[in-house]
Amino acid sequence: MCNNILDTECDNKDLFEAAITHPSYTQEHELSPLESYERLEFFGDSVLKLFSSELLLKKYPDYDEGKLSKIRSFLVSDATISKIALEIGVNDIIRLSESEEKQGGRKRESNIACAFEAILGAYYLDGKQDAVKSFLEYQLSKYIEEIDNHFERYNSKAILQEYTQSQTKELPEYEVVSVTGPAHKPIFEVQVTYCGKILGQATGSTKKEAEQNAAYKACEALGIIKES
């Protein structure tokens, strides 16, 4: 078991083992639900938000709470942290049930993100707060400026919905048009419609990413966001 995934060892092996255990695994092996990553994920989510908030406060001393909150929401989203988790191999060490494994659970964004947060929680409780802080500062710094500089792209779904609600009571609707590529690396194609009209269509490595990209195309078409 690789328990030095944050470049330092987690001494409490029980904590680390729980952090990488999917709930389906505890069900399959008739273990207590408390032996899955859910409790540690609950705590690790707070750890992630704490350190990311501190990082943002230092980097942007002139930003108000509203703007910091918006940047943080994307910084700690499943889409972002699952990328970090994949980079360090969290998906390779998650313990899954046979059924979840067959259904592609090892590549599922939510599973990877949850396990990552649980690992952060395990390390924090193991007394490795400094290691967690250093790791997150290095990893999150890669994304902060990208999110800040291209915020409209990251926030396209919210921008589109705000616009449509100002026009009518109807909301944008997203539909997966196709899924191509191998099972372990699918490409989703999504279209967004409003009042029966297709406004945008785009692809992404996850359904959420494809929806965000389609919304961005729609915002461009409507003139809400200037073209790139």
Burial of residue 73 (CB within 10 Å: 0-12, 13-18, 19+) is middle
Cα–Cα distance, 25 to 130 (Å, whole number) = 31
- Would you say 214 and 192 are in contact if contact means Cβ atoms under 8 Å apart? yes
The one catalytic residue among 41, 100, 117, 211: 117
Clarify whether 35 is annotated catalytic. Answer: no
Clarify whether 117 is annotated catalytic. Answer: yes
Burial of residue 213 (CB within 10 Å: 0-12, 13-18, 19+) is buried
- Would you say 22 and 36 are in contact if contact means Cβ atoms under 8 Å apart? yes
Q: What count of other Cβ atoms lies within 10 Å of the Cβ of residue 78?
A: 19
Q: What one-character DSSP code corresponds to residue 64?
A: -
Burial of residue 186 (CB within 10 Å: 0-12, 13-18, 19+) is middle
Cα–Cα distance, 23 to 131 (Å, whole number) = 27
Cα–Cα distance, 91 to 27 (Å, whole number) = 20
Torsional sign, CA 84, 89, 94, 97: positive
The one catalytic residue among 45, 78, 109, 126: 45
Task: Find the helix or strand (DSSP H, E) in which 79 lies.
Answer: helix 78-87
Catalytic (active-site) positions: 45, 117
